[in-house]
Amino acid sequence: MAPTELLQLPADEKDAELAKVAQRCIMAALDHSHANKIVLISDDENAADAPVLELPPQALRFFADMLGMMAQQRPISLVPQKHELSTQEAAHLLNVSRPFVIKQIEQGRLQCRKVGRHRRIEFAELMRFKQQMQQDSEHALQELASLSQEMGLGY
């Protein structure tokens, strides 16, 4: 699977409900101390013959988070740590133009490294920048709302 490939959503409400139930089971298991085993039972097996899957609690939390997103029928994208994106990929992810991304890099707002003549932006850095952009937008909107109130524009 490509690093930024979206996983398929549950096909229907039944799959979403199954994901929700599975998430609850995993979360209940994690609530008990040192729960690190899951027993998989199919419809035609009994518990004695079922395979046992042992996972670290962190992996169980990850699966619970993924199942929660599946239950909400939200798209899921898995990106490896330290994954780097080109300026075009970063622009696509931010829903902005490539020249905007380059301008942000040149102004020091977005960190990158050069590979030959090409810029590479670490995914974590891009997510930090995206969050900063959202905070700046929210701050600007709050300022506009405050100014509107002061001027009596009724907003």
How much is the pLDDT for 71? 87
Q: Tens digit of pLDDT for each residue in 80-97? A: 878 999 999 999 999 999
Give the whole-angstrom CA distance, residue 83 versus residue 47.
Answer: 41
How much is the pLDDT for 4? 47
Q: Long-range contacts: 94-102, Cβ < 8 Å, 24+?
A: 94/126, 94/129, 94/130, 94/133
Please check the confidence at residue 150 and state whether its pLDDT lies above 50.
yes
> What number is the average pLDDT over the span 133-151?
92
More confident residue, 98 or 63: 98
How much is the pLDDT for 7? 56
Q: Per-residue confidence at 116, pLDDT binned at 50, 70, 90? A: very high
More confident residue, 96 or 44: 96
pTM: 0.60
Q: What is the mean pLDDT of the chain?
A: 83
118's enclosing H/E stretch is strand 118-122
How much is the pLDDT for 3? 46
Distant-in-sequence, close-in-space partners of 46: CB < 8 Å, separation ≥ 6 = none
Q: Per-residue confidence at 60, pLDDT binned at 50, 70, 90? A: confident
Distant-in-sequence, close-in-space partners of 94: CB < 8 Å, separation ≥ 6 = 100, 101, 126, 129, 130, 133
